[in-house]
Structure 1
């Protein structure tokens, strides 16, 4: 049995990019990475195999934390790179911002993340913010681009870039009776910093989240102060939600920016 996702005319590349991301993430399973949903393109539609779900338990949460560390450790070529085979124009950071052929690979994480995943979203959502708040957000993004928030990857990630799910909120984690505790769906896979995925899990909450984090940190210790950096990593999805929905998300984004200024 499959779930069929139909092509949307306003986003013709979304499903092929999702399919490419699922394949890329699944490559990490052989080295302990989290189980990834199986899918295939049939014409313009994406057919995703159904997952037999189970209730979340502390044991499954710990298995997810361990396997997520191994998924990130699979690495990527550069910060904000798309999965191999993703169609152009590809998008990064769940921003729905097309970047035709753009590669940001020579600088650090903050430079790439600011240029591809933060500034384009802020520019599209400026009407949601007052002038002073826009200046504040611009200042914080400038700091990010300058590398002020760059830190090492978790210990298992041998290179400078981790392999990310890219949209790891709780709804994309299907708890299941598999050795990795869960099956991941609906990625926006890309290269980046592992803390981005951890922050997304934290932003909207997930069952037994502390067990997930503890198991992750035990297997692949995260740089000191990572919990304090989670709000910084949440700025991008907050800006995306501000663009889409406005309201309280704009206030949350500004509150995070004030802490980073």
Structure 2
């Protein structure tokens, strides 16, 4: 089996080392398949090449349970990262994100991830859109999504951090994680990103997850708050095509906050 080499002239210094550290940290609990790191070189990352197969409902259920066990392996704090530095986005145009460790999810999510990104895209959102996004961030900062469905606060989970469907490869060993932005976060971050662009057999992934880690009946209504960063990142990276979806998501966060008493 041949190697797969990632490189790019625009990659920030430390980018590949950080990705390697993230992959190794996700692999450490031995709960879910993760692409093996073979070597980190100057300006490149050498990985084992994966052979893809078609996804299946059974593989999706198995992955969901594995992902729950990965999350349950925990992290030192919200926002903690296993490497020096952290980035989000495609290899061609990643942007840096803070690596400050927080005890509480709202401080991490609202202040370190969402507000800085919203400020970067003020012009793209427009004045009214930015006001709506700010209001949604305030709801998150007030603690509406600290737990799940308004229940007790979550402990930091070991999350992939950019788990859209393209960063999940289906192989003979099971659904395998690639290209993380790994950090200590909220377990719903990964589940929300899987829903953002409709991962294959998403319902089965959720079923498998709940078989390992039971969830409140209405937990999926919290997902907009946890995919919000990924969606705002798409506005930042790709422009106006995602603005309407971002504003609609902000409105749903505000409405959900009202339901939860925030």
Per the TM superposition, whether the score is higher than 0.5 is yes
The number of aligned residues is 246
Counting only pairs closer than 5 Å after superposition, residues 45-124 of structure 1 correspond to structure 2 as: 45-83=44-82, 86-88=83-85, 90-91=86-87, 96-99=95-98, 103-106=100-103, 108-124=104-120
* Distance of aligned partners of 1:92 and 1:57 in 2 relative to their CA distance in 1, 3 Å threshold: closer
* Distance of aligned partners of 1:4 and 1:10 in 2 relative to their CA distance in 1, 3 Å threshold: closer
Distance 2:121 2:71 in 1: 30
Deviation at 1:42, TM superposition (A): 2.5
The residue aligned with 1:151 is 147
Deviation at 1:43, TM superposition (A): 3.0
Deviation at 1:140, TM superposition (A): 1.3
CA RMSD between the two structures: 2.1
TM-score normalized by the length of structure 2: 0.87
Distance 2:133 2:109 in 1: 14
Counting only pairs closer than 5 Å after superposition, residues 218-229 of structure 1 correspond to structure 2 as: 218-229=211-222
Deviation string, structure 1 residues 145-171 (Cα, Å, up to 9, x no partner)? 121221159xxxx97110001111111
Distance 1:182 1:259 in 2: 31
Runs of 4+ with >6 A deviation: 92-95
Residue from 172, 181, 206 that aligns with 2:167: 172
Preserved contact between residue 92 and residue 117 of structure 1 (Cα < 8 Å): no
User: What SS class does the counterpart of residue 47 from structure 1 fall into?
Assistant: strand
Residue from 178, 182, 204 that aligns with 1:211: 204
Preserved contact between residue 74 and residue 156 of structure 2 (Cα < 8 Å): yes
Deviation at 1:10, TM superposition (A): 4.8
Deviation at 1:138, TM superposition (A): 1.1
Structure 2 portions without partners, runs of 5+: 255-262
Structure 1 portions without partners, runs of 5+: none
Preserved contact between residue 148 and residue 219 of structure 2 (Cα < 8 Å): no
Deviation at 1:72, TM superposition (A): 0.8
Distance 1:213 1:175 in 2: 16
User: What SS class does the counterpart of residue 28 from structure 1 fall into?
Assistant: coil
The residue aligned with 1:34 is 32
Deviation string, structure 1 residues 181-201 (Cα, Å, up to 9, x no partner)? 211111110010111100100
TM-score normalized by the length of structure 1: 0.88
Preserved contact between residue 89 and residue 233 of structure 2 (Cα < 8 Å): no
Confirm whether residue 142 of structure 1 aligns to residue 138 of structure 2. yes
Preserved contact between residue 69 and residue 220 of structure 1 (Cα < 8 Å): yes
